[in-house]
Amino acid sequence: MSRWWLIAFALVMYLVFVVATLPAQFGLWLMPAPNNLHVGKVSGSIWQGQIGVVHWQGKIIKDVHWDINVGQLLLGRIEADIVAGQDMTSDIAITGTAGMSFSGWYADDIELAMPASVAAELSPLPLQVELEGMIDAQITVASQGSPWCSELEGVVTWRNPKVIAAALGNPFKLDNTRAQLSCVNGEVVAKVDDDKQVMGLEVSATLAATSYSVSGTINPGPQFPPGFEQGLMFVATPISNNSYQIELDGSL
């Protein structure tokens, strides 16, 4: 009997060795990439590897590194620590932990950075203006749900923001703006405010399965450009001497 146990143990150890040393490219053969995702040169193993460059929806993410957390496999999860896009020529930079379980995808301690122009192009919302500045996101926890999430906690900051539109003439400089993210009944909710020097935002935005809505107030601050009050009339309704109500909604 002991002989069979030794043979079985040797076989298991051999299989573990084979899997542990499989090249990362083998894993990509098993999981074909979506049409909007193109993967460059792959090196390393399935457990710890690197992709030279990833093209996703026309955006470039360079030097994608991953390190599989083997212990999570015992809990029925595939989880990896990820570092990507630290090269200055990447459109998106990201670090954190992401994984899949029987309940769907999840992510922890994600830090994300990209130009506002890139974020605008990736946004599911129909934007009619150009954006400048940098978008930084710190996502403490996020997990899959219906229609979007089951759990979400984080903050997104728009730094040195500008809005460019023909109707505005010169680029419109805004305050640094923050959005506190949460998940309510599967929908993404963002509580938005700023530094109260230009727009004075107090807004709540909701992303539902097939629609979005925005509700709140605009209270122009001391650095709000003179003469732009008339422009607010196109998106908001005056409710006092220096306050405007904003109510927007639409389909995705």
Residue 194 or residue 4, greater confidence: 194
Question: Above pLDDT 90, what percent of the chain?
Answer: 52
Span 136-191, pLDDT tens digits: 999 999 999 999 999 999 999 999 999 987 666 778 899 999 999 999 999 999 99
pTM: 0.84
pLDDT of 235 over the 50 cut: yes
Span 80-115, pLDDT tens digits: 999 999 988 999 999 999 998 888 999 999 999 999
Residue spans of the domains in the chain: they are: 24-68+80-90, 103-252
DSSP character string of 126-181 = ---SEEEEEEEEEEEEEEE-SSSEEEEEEEEEEEEEEEE-GGGSS-EE---EEEEE
The answer for residues whose C-beta is within 8 angstroms of residue 205's C-beta and 6 or more apart is 179, 189, 190, 192, 212, 213, 214, 215
**Cα–Cα distance for residue pair 224/159, rounded to 1 Å:** 17
